[in-house]
Amino acid sequence: MFSPLIDELIHSLCCLPGVGRKSAQRMALHLLERDPEGAGRLVGALGTAIEKVGRCLHCRILTEQPVCYICSNQRRNTGLLCVVETPADVVAIEQSGTYQGKYFVLNGRLSPIDGIGPKELGLPQLFQRLRQEQQVTSQADEAEVEVEKDNANAPVTELILATNPTVEGEATAYYIAEQARQCGITVSRIAHGVPLGGELEYIDGGTLTHAFSSRRSI
């Protein structure tokens, strides 16, 4: 129905999440007919981003710098490391303004069926880093050397697991917790439960069970 070039454009747009053939067709025709200037900007931005954006060497978040702005922020508490599944999770936590530590982005979760193991999530490097930090700290303790205790250079002391409460998310959290404990690091899991402003009668059983098991005294 369309010429080969337009057809190829529609087909390419289908790679976007949530975009089927119909939406892709609408987008392609809009760009070609109504907004060729916008299409040009899109091509430019996409090309530059693909060429220049990579992963932060420390936390694996997408950035065009070798080390991202969160990891290079000297005021953040390096003693806390929050493990999340996606960069969008980092944005959500940052927007809440409650967390001042650093992050580690898995860019996925353990899923053996899809061929996603610890290596694909960058976990061997994370555990190696944690082990090295622990060794340096314990050597310094043995030699009774005063190591710098300021926030910016402190080794990770607590790993906060903030993977999603799905089957894979829980399995991923469990795996990381086991490994991190072997490195001698305290591990915690974010609480899942009743949302603020929610009503108990509308909440599913699984969430309620979680809420009860992670209750705390007030």
Q: Which residues bind Zn ion (CB under 5 A)?
A: 56, 58-59, 68, 71
Q: Pick between residue 56 and residue 156 the one whose CB is nearest to Zn ion.
A: 56
Question: Based on CB atoms, which residue is closest to Zn ion, 158 or 170?
Answer: 158
- CB of 14 or CB of 49, closer to Zn ion: 49
Q: In whole angstroms, give the CA distance from residue 203 to residue 199.
A: 7
The least distance separating Zn ion from the CB of residue 61, rounded to whole angstroms, comes to: 5
C-beta closer to Zn ion: residue 24 or 80:
80
b (16+ CB within 10 A) / e for 13-33: beeeeeeeeeebbebbeebee
Question: To the nearest whole angstrom, how small is the minimum distance from the Cβ of residue 67 to Zn ion?
Answer: 6
- Least distance to Zn ion, CB of residue 114, Å: 25
The backbone torsions φ and ψ at residue 67, rounded to the nearest 5 degrees and listed phi first, read: -125, 130
Dihedral sign computed on CA atoms, order 199, 203, 207, 213 = positive
Query: How many angstroms separate the CA atoms of 145 and 189, rounded?
Result: 33
Q: How far is the CB of 85 from Zn ion (least distance, A)?
A: 15
